[in-house]
Amino acid sequence: MGTITTDDGTQLYYKDWGSGRPVVFSHGWPLNADSWEAQMLHLASNGLRTIAHDRRGHGRSSQPWHGHDMDTYADDLAQVLEALDVRDAVLVGFSTGGGEVTRYIARHGRARVSKVALVGAVPPLMLKTDANPAGTPMEVFDGLRTASLADRSQLYKDIASGPFFGFNRPGAKPSQGMMDSFWMQGMMASHKATYDCIKAFSETDFTQDLQKFDGLPTLVIHGDADQVVPIDAAGRAVKKLLPHAELKVYEGGPHGVTDTHKDRLSADLLAFVSN
């Protein structure tokens, strides 16, 4: 564990576990590197080097007022990879982190990267537009912003107890531990960073960025019961844009599959990295 300092003076906290081929994880909103702990432990225990940083304004990283956009997130990731001299990496992005990884490829190329995995990821575009009718209406994201300003602690509790882990579905067995972890990670992040990030993950169009993958081995994992980033506008849309990608659909999987389906996800990532 340690920190690096970016060109604009932001300190980014990171974990660096194990040794071997590097697997670099980018987390979702409003979380931090801790959200990947199950996958990091499993892969590091199987001969791989696992790295995850807290995005600027999140977790244990510093809380700058500026830079809460996908271009800066991608540039921060580039500086993490450079500082740690990461090569032949497998990049794994969950939700917002999937956008970060995708924008990284578009802005910084593939010299340090050999494979990419997108898990419940936001690309190609979350927002509903005339060209993206399967997307989520702006009113939903405006509602998130309003709720964040009104009582963001309660917002995170509502998300965790409802759609994120699918605990609002019939027959679900809620885990207080998962809900508490989500809330705690969210409250570690800066109010400004989490507020601005709503625009970053919802309105950034990654359609052109995905074209830069061009044959790069890509694994797409998405739950077909994802209420946060619906599979038709995300995972299945990525598959259409990248016919070479492998799409694994987790039947009944909610958004937070890193926890609810952690064993299956860890095994699938290990197989993908190892092949």
- Taking the C-alpha atoms of residue 91 and residue 101, their distance in angstroms, rounded to an integer, is 7
255 is catalytic: yes
**Which helix H or strand E contains 220, and what residues bound it?**
strand 218-223
Helix axes 70-83, 96-108, angle to 10 degrees: 70
Q: How many Å separate Cα 15 from the centre of its chain?
A: 16
| Catalytic residue selected from 54, 76, 226, 268 | 226
Do 16 and 1 form a contact (C-beta atoms < 8 A)? Answer: yes
C-alpha–C-alpha distance, residues 23 and 78, integer Å:
14
Beta bridge partners of 248: 221
- Helix, strand counts (H, E) of the chain: 10, 8
Left if phi > 0, otherwise alpha if psi is -120 to 50, otherwise beta: which for 88?
Answer: left
Per annotation, catalytic residue among 26, 35, 95, 266: 95
| Active-site position among 61, 255, 261, 266 | 255
Q: How far apart are CA 158 and CA 238, in angstroms?
A: 29
Strand arrangement, sheet containing 113-119: 2-5, 11-17, 48-53, 21-26, 89-94, 113-119, 218-223, 246-250
Is 226 known to be catalytic? yes
> Which token pair is 211?
């074209």
Task: Supply the residues annotated as catalytic.
Answer: 95, 226, 255
